[in-house]
A and B are shown apart, each in its own frame.
Chain A
Amino acid sequence: MSNVRGKATEAENISDGNEPCCCAECDDEGLSRRAVMGYGAAIAAVGGLGLAGGAHAAEGPLNMPVQPGDRFMITKGKLKQTLLTADLLESGARPVEGFPVTPDKHEPRDVYRNNRLLMLKLDEAAMDAETRARSAGGVLVYSAVCTHKGCTIKSWMAKQQQLRCHCHLSIFDPLSGGTVKGGPARRQLPAVPLEVDAEGYVVAAAGWTATPGGAKK
């Protein structure tokens, strides 16, 4: 170490530990293709060898994006398999990872991989008005899927209170609605508007504010 110089990081890892497999339904035939012929004039749709369209051929509640009334399951770390309540999170601490769960059976909607989300608690006074309106007692839920190329966001820059994607170093600000603060991402992180239900659990007041997932260009 004496022969090098470098900089320390302010960041820490979002979470460790494990969680159940997220790809119970793997349909890798579900692709469509197209070829565009000559000079942008003729567009020839090529029949995809009898393949069905859409990346999510599997249907059902676990393959749906987050729905109003969904609670949230923490799937990694010490709180693994716990349903989210505001008191579980420490304000300003690193986010925890999880998925929305169905209101009735509390099954994770993890077949839809872009439901992977981050739960954190921040100072409401530091939030912009729109973000504050979306939070429940300081709790915020954001997509864990980077809007650049779909990598799972793993880095929490505690000092700056910003989320960072390790893949291409996009930085997002959770206090201002997940806006992009650096790196190649062009779209803010989608969020889930929250409220607290009668039993004290944090629940989705509405679906994703925008479609989660990476860009294709």
Chain B
Amino acid sequence: MRRTLAAAAALMILGAGSVVAQNLNPVTDARLQNPEPQNWLQWRGNYEGWGYSPLDEITTENVKGLRPVWSFATGVTEGHQAPPMVNDGVMYVSTPQNQVFALDAATGNELWRYLHEIPEDLFQLHPTNRGVGLYGDKVYMATVDARMVALNAKTGEVVWNSTIGDYKAGYYSTLSPLVAEGKIVVGVSGGEFGIRGYVVAFDSETGAEAWRTYTVPGPGEPGHDTWKGDSWKTGGGSVWMQGNYDADTKLAYFGTGNGGPWLPEARPGDNLYTTSVIALDINSGEIKGHHQYHWNDAWDWDEVSAPVLMDIERDGRKVKGLVHAGRNGFIWSMERTADGPINFVAADKYVRQTAFTAIDPETGRPSYSESATPGLNRTATFCPSLWGGKDWPMEAYSPRTGLLYIPSHENLCTEMGGSGEIEDYEPGQLYIGIPIDVILSSMRIHESQDTSKPVTIGKLQAWDMNTGKMVWATDFKDTPFWAPLLATGGDLIFTGGTVDRKFRAMDARNGEILWEHPMPSGVTATPASFAVNGKQYIAVQSGWGVDAERMRGLLAGLLPEGRVPTVPQGGSIHVFAVD
């Protein structure tokens, strides 16, 4: 009897799951431009990159009652970074090793899974994935072996599979795709392998390459004169985070990585368009505008995190803004224009920064302190560390509070420099210019900190970008803070990022921690919110790894024993709701 009941229940679940899967609501440009509150259709929830859900059933008042609804094991370890995407009750989640799960968003019941076959000789410096793209009736994923895969959203079957790049030459992809105008747009990682970065677009239906735009211009292209000799061929400028998008102007804004190899003498010149934001015409791929945050990088300060599209009013001037909390320690406020050019507005220091001596008030171009600039024959100490004031974990913007939220690292610095010579380039092998063991021992804690007591490392900051002032900050001590943010209409910020593996809700108005829940592993993934049948849920992956773990390992060596715990490994998907 019991078995019969179980079988019947399974059939009912199967039936329910099938109904969900069959009722696929195709994802259109119109829906992406005006996403329904109950859905989370792209990695930051909207094209503007806000990381904001208008859902407000879960509030600062009732969040204490937030409870687990379901969870699901991903079966893999390492750094889980992708948000659960939700389209009308179906959740799509990617994980390290390029798995995709389609689940019933309300129950966690599995509809299908896709397991990408990873080549046995792949060198995975960053084994992760930051999310799938949803468009039409397909699910898209860029892979660590530089493939672009389109899956049938109802079945998980491969519809097409195209080449992004050559993984054997060090090209790979970890970012979620930007989808718009029938294009699936991604970029390449590989800044430590001597790549020449690019953004590439595929036709959403056929997988044919529509355009490819290098972030390092070749001979005859604008900006090529900012390189000397052949340095452009291995110039870096990787693109490993999704761009944001202005649907009115059809311009995509992508951030770019640092120049490669790391040492500035390897590539004299400004090195356009590394450490920049570029405005790309979504239909042609043409670069219509750019702003370089800093020239001829020497600090491994990738600026791949795309700027948030938000209105700002600064010094009486109202602009359609682009705002980026840079790895270089400044918040860059810029104006985007319909034709593409990007105008500098302001730069506000948000963490201790020792490398820049001045910033031109007109152009935003920084001047450098030589003593804080590593070189081929110069070891230098600089703050923030090579991981920057903010690495990839994204800011969030709440239109309710009007605040920009920044997950930052404070009090960490780096001491590093070259060994006098740079190794020869070998495709697919490290090409950094700084000995690996120098990098592995490069982290420092700023002397102002007394390490006999807990040290503030993580700092969640809230900024009013109209005034350029910080409104509040909440500190996290003795822990890395790799904490992508979700803001909600209930005036809450959801995030993890710490070694105590807590997932938290904070008051978006003052930073007070209102709720926290211990997870199986640390949380470095992007939270999302969605609703099914009118009920609001919060969803996030747990699974610690990649650079959060690297920083943890180095921090554990700098602080007294026992202060920085190890973090258990293993990925899982979690969904919460209030009763």
Contact = CB atoms under 8 A, between A and B. Distances in A.
A159 interface: no
Interface centre among A55, A149, A152, A167 (most CB of B within 10 A): A149
Number of chain B interface residues as a range: 35 or more
Interface string B542-579: 00010001100100011000000000010000000000
A11 B114 contact: no
B380 to A, nearest CB: 8
Interface string A193-217: 0000000000000000001011011
Interface string B114-144: 1111111111110100000000000000000
B372 to A, nearest CB: 10
Interface string B412-442: 0101000101011111111000011111111
A105 interface: no
Nearest to A211: B120
Contacts of B440: 9, 11, 155, 164, 166, 169
Contact of B123 (A6, A30, A151): A151
B121 A55 contact: yes
B445 A4 contact: yes
Given A34-B115, A44-B157, A1 B163 contact: no
A4 B446 contact: yes
A184 B155 contact: no
A149 B127 contact: yes
A40 B117 contact: no
Interface string A1-35: 11111111101110011110111001011111111
Given A44-B157, A150-B124, A31 B147 contact: yes
Given A2-B447, A3-B381, A149 B124 contact: yes
Contacts of A40: 110
Nearest to A214: B124
B381 A4 contact: yes
A139 to B, nearest CB: 23
Contacts, number: 199
Nearest to B425: A18
A28 B111 contact: no
Interface residues of A, number: 61
Contact of B441 (A7, A22, A44): A7
B87 to A, nearest CB: 18
B368 interface: no
A40 B111 CA distance: 9
A33 B117 contact: yes
Interface in A134-168: 145, 149-152, 154-155, 164, 166-168
B94 interface: no
Interface string B481-509: 00000000000000000000000000000
A54 to B, nearest CB: 9
B124 A38 contact: no
A5 B445 contact: yes
B436 A23 contact: no
B403 interface: no
B166 interface: yes
Nearest to A182: B553
A113 B121 contact: yes
Contacts of B426: 18-19, 21-22
A28 B443 contact: no
B97 interface: yes
A3 B124 CA distance: 35
B168 interface: yes
A151 B14 CA distance: 41
Contacts of B112: 35-38
Contact of B437 (A32, A155, A211, A214): A155
Given A13-B436, A167-B124, A154 B430 contact: yes
B119 A31 contact: yes
Interface of B: 10, 13-14, 17-18, 75-78, 97, 109-125, 127, 145-147, 149, 151, 155-158, 160-161, 163, 166-169, 381, 413, 415, 419, 421, 423-430, 435-448, 451, 545, 549-550, 553, 557-558, 569
Interface of A: 1-9, 11-13, 16-19, 21-23, 26, 28-40, 44, 46, 48-49, 51, 55-56, 112-114, 145, 149-152, 154-155, 164, 166-169, 184, 211, 213-214, 216-217
- A-B pairs with lowest CB-CB distance, top 10: A18-B424, A4-B444, A9-B441, A113-B121, A35-B156, A23-B168, A149-B124, A55-B119, A11-B437, A6-B444
Given A28-B166, A216-B97, 15 more contacts: A3-B413, A4-B444, A4-B445, A6-B441, A21-B427, A28-B163, A28-B167, A37-B112, A38-B14, A39-B17, A46-B158, A166-B436, A168-B550, A214-B123, A217-B76
8 contacts: A4-B444, A23-B166, A28-B147, A31-B117, A32-B117, A35-B155, A39-B10, A55-B120
